[in-house]
Homo-oligomer: A and B are copies of this chain.
Amino acid sequence: MSDRIRVIQYGLGPIGCAVARDVTTRKGLELVGGVDIDPTKTGRDVGEVIGLGHNLGFAVDKELATVLARTEAEVALHTTNSYFDQFKDQVTEILEAGLDIVSTAEELCFPWLAHPTEAAEVDALAKRLDRTILGTGVNPGFLMDTLPLSLTAICQQVERIDVLRIINASTRRGPFQAKIGSGMDVDAFKAKMAAGRMGHVGLPESMGMVFDTLGRKLSRYEAAVEPVVADRLVKTDHCEVQPGQVRGLKQVARAYAGEDEFMTLTFIAALDEKDEGDTIKIAGKPDLEVKLAGTNGDIATVAIAVNAVRRVKQAASGLVTMRDLPIVTVLQ
Pairwise interchain contact B156-A306, C-beta atoms closer than 8 A? yes
Pairwise interchain contact A158-B332, C-beta atoms closer than 8 A? yes
Main secondary structure of the interface of A (DSSP, over half): mixed
Interface window among A56-64, A65-73, A266-274, A280-288 = A280-288
Does A1 touch B at the CB level, under 8 Å? Answer: no
A290, B280: Cα distance in complex, Å: 11
Total chain A interface residues with beta-carbon distance under 8 A: 51
Does A117 touch B at the CB level, under 8 Å? Answer: no
Given the complex, which residues of B lie within 8 Å of A288, measured CB to CB? 292-295
Looking at A142, A157, A327, which has the most chain B CB atoms within 10 Å of its CB? A327
Pairwise interchain contact A330-B157, C-beta atoms closer than 8 A? yes
| Docked complex: A1-33 residues within 8 A CB-CB of B | 22, 25
A295, B150: Cα distance in complex, Å: 13
Shortest Cβ distance from A160 into chain B, in angstroms?
Answer: 12
A254, B195: Cα distance in complex, Å: 56
Pairwise interchain contact B299-A289, C-beta atoms closer than 8 A? no
Given contacts A214-B329, A214-B332, A329-B150, contact A302 B142 (CB under 8 A): no
Given the complex, which residues of B lie within 8 Å of A307, measured CB to CB? 152-153, 155
Does A53 touch B at the CB level, under 8 Å? Answer: no
Given the complex, which residues of B lie within 8 Å of A302, measured CB to CB? 156
Pairwise interchain contact B149-A327, C-beta atoms closer than 8 A? yes
Pairwise interchain contact B294-A291, C-beta atoms closer than 8 A? no
A286, B289: Cα distance in complex, Å: 22
Given contacts A290-B290, A290-B292, A291-B290, contact A153 B285 (CB under 8 A): no
Binding site for B on A (CB under 8 A): 22, 25, 138, 142, 146-147, 149-158, 213-215, 284-296, 299-304, 306-308, 322-330, 332
